[in-house]
Structure formats: structure tokens, C-alpha cells
Amino acid sequence: MTWDFSTDPAFESKLQWMREFVREEIYPLETLPLTWHSFRRMIEPLKEQVKAQGLWAAHLGPELGGQGYGQVKLGLMHEILGGSELAPPAFGNQAPDSGNSELVALAGTEEQKQRWLTPLLAGDIYSAISMTESGTGSDPRQFTTRAVRDGSDWILHGTKFMVGNANRSDVHFVMARTDLDPEANPYSAMSMFIVPTDLPGVSSRFLGTMSDPEARGVVHTHGEVTYADVRLPAESLLGAEGAAFTLAQQRLGPGRIHHCMRWLGVCRRAFDAMCERAVSKSLRGGLLSEKQTIQNWVADSAAAMEAARLLTLKTAWKVDTEGVAAARTEIAMIKYFGATVMHDVLDRAIQIHGALGFSTDLPLEEMYRWSRAARIYDGPDEVHRMVVARNVLRGYTPRPVPTEHVPTRRVKAMERFASRLAELPPDAGR
């Protein structure tokens, strides 16, 4: 019997340290008027404390300066870090840098690791993953950004949309078409390039978003990037030519689990606010916690969060034990399930606070606006549902008569049990 839902006590004590550290040292920073630069200065001493605990850049193996924890432990850590957008940078595992460093660790040459991975892990530089093109993110086969050989160099040309931290990054990891034959298999027609952002021809504009209309995010902003005939040396190619889809899948799988665990951290904070309000506020002669609608919200949220947590951890466990490819259905499932749970919990938390919940006096409205993106980024819900349905339905065979058809089953049962039925007295069964 191998089912076990417990956390190893030594690791639980690390998690306990993290919970307190994030609550005491990070949450207060949210209330200060920080910018991208001042925030980074403020967290310098915090980073040292995290390193002293051996929790820095825990997503990578020990040979790369990380802890090699695997996805289950990482998931449990992200659940804590997810409570504040400001927490992951203090732990050296903020998106998209964490996924990008995994990408270089996975496919980079020694020179590429030296040049990009080492400073990324140290938190000395920032990076972006530049894949989506407007209106085609759900179907990357339609990407048109291309890289064409010119001697030993590549010439990169195209425009990418909604690239996280595009404008603040030192380097972009860009997916571009390298096989321009329209008949080419799209899954092997794209390659991944490492593009320093100071190269001539790279330009970006900030995009305001629903959660950050002024594009002033302390941790994340988004941008539209143009690569206008950017000349790249041969060593800019990451991994094999044509391997971008495979690399992206390997990068995005664990990344999605981390997103889902971070969402549970968001849920927990909103849920705590909702429950605290329920037991604190009396209206129309009774505490909100005594009203059945509120009780339903608490009960439904608790059950949904538990389900999302178990599904996420099970997915992480499957990645650890069988690999990313084997867990593809579960990864897709937690993506849309977790995003919906987060949305619903936040919505209820805002509702129970009334106008206060809608105001910026509480962090809930900001969390709500940011959480809306979860149903879109890393592939929209509809695509993940399609993947799950397709994989589930593969396990079924078409039948002219339903397997459960009672008259058909009765004929078979009559044949099978004929001798025993014949022995029964005439009134048996009445």
C-alpha cells in the first residue's frame, strides 16, 4: 500500500519557516509604493536569508545550485509563495525566469549555461519567454516569426505579443519558424533562440493589462516585441534545430503545476479573508457565518480548494515518477480546474466584504484582476479541456448498442445463470 498524503517532517519544518517568512517579511512590502527597481533593492537582504535556508532557486538540481526537490516539494513551496506576487523573486524562482533557467539547463551547451544560466540563477539578470503571436497563442503551429540562415548566422524577424517582462529582460527565449516549407510538419518546424535584448533590431512596447493598466508592475509587466531582422550568431540556437515544441512542452508542464500551486496560495489568502469576515461581521441580527449562503460559500470553497490541491499534488507526483509526457492529461486538467477554483474563491471573498472587497483597501480586487489571466495564459481553458476530453475519449470504443443497455445485458445474464435460475422456486424474487 503506497498512498501517503503526509509531508516529510524535515521538509515540513522548511515549509513552516517559509510560511512565517512570507507572512512577516514579504506581505508588508505589498503595502509600500515600490517600483521594479526599489523592490529589488528591498529584497536583497531577504534573498540572503532564503539562501541561508537552502531554499534559493529550488526548482533546479544540485549541480546547478538548486535543491533538486522534485515537483511535489516544489509544489508545496509554491503554495506558500503564491500568497504574494512579491514572494517568488525573493526565492529565486519567479516566472518566467524559473522556467527559462530550466530550459537552458535542459538544452543549453556549456557556453550557453555559463553565459545565461549562471546569472539567471544568481538573480543578476532577467529573461522572457517569447512565443505567443497575437491571435495564435492557442495554435502555435500558426506562428510566423521566422529565423533564416545567413552564412553561419540567423536572421530573426517577427512580432510577439504579451511577453512577460519583455521590456525589462536582458534576454528573450524566442520560438521561431526555421523550416519555411509550408508543407513542413509544424511540430518540427520551429526552433528556440536565445536573443539578448540589446541586439540591434529588438524593440518592445509596454502593454497595459486588466491587472496593470499602466504597465507599472513591480514583478511583472507585459510587452509586444518586434524582432526586425535581428542578426543572431550560430550559438544562439538553443537545443536542436526544430526542437522548440518539445522544449516548450518540457518547460511548460512543470511550470503549469507551479502556477496551480501558486493559485492555491492565492485561494488560501482569499479564503482566510472570507472566513475572518464571516465570523466578524453581523448583519440583520446575526453573524454572516450563521447565514446559509455564506456557509455554502465556505464549504464549497474548502472542498474545491482541497480537490484542486490534491489534483495538483497528484500531477506533480506523476511528473516526478513517470515524467512530463505521462502527466499531460493531469497537467491540462489542473490548469483549467485550478484557475476556476481560484476565480470562484476570490469572487466570494470580494462579495462577502461588499464595497470594501471591491475597494483597494483590501488586496482582493487586485488578486481578482490578476487571476483572470490564469484562464488564458499558458494556453486557454478551452484548449486544455479539449486535450483532457480527447485523451479521456481515446479510452472508449464505439458500440452500436450501449454497454449498459439493460435488455441486452439481461439476455446474457439469463444465459449465464440459466441453470441456477431453473433451480429457483416459481415465486422467488417477488
- List interacting residues with ligand FAD (CB under 6 A): 96, 128-132, 134-138, 162-164, 222, 373, 376-380, 382-383, 386
* Minimum CB distance to ligand FAD, residue 79 (Å): 20
Minimal distance, residue 88 CB to ligand FAD, in Å? 14
Whose Cβ is closer to ligand FAD: residue 55's or residue 219's?
Answer: 219
Nearer to ligand FAD, 210 or 421 (CB): 210
Minimum Å gap between C-beta 381 and ligand FAD is 7
Shortest distance, CB of residue 141 to ligand FAD, whole angstroms? Answer: 11
Q: How far is the CB of 120 from ligand FAD (least distance, A)?
A: 15
Distance CA 88, CA 47 (A): 10
Identity of the residue, 167 or 236, whose beta carbon is nearer to ligand FAD in the bound complex: 167
| Residue (302 or 373) nearer to ligand FAD, CB | 373
Residue nearest to ligand FAD (CB): 137
CB of 145 to ligand FAD, least distance (A): 11
Residue 67 vs 197, nearer CB to ligand FAD:
197
The residue among 287 and 383 lying less far from ligand FAD, judged by its C-beta, is 383
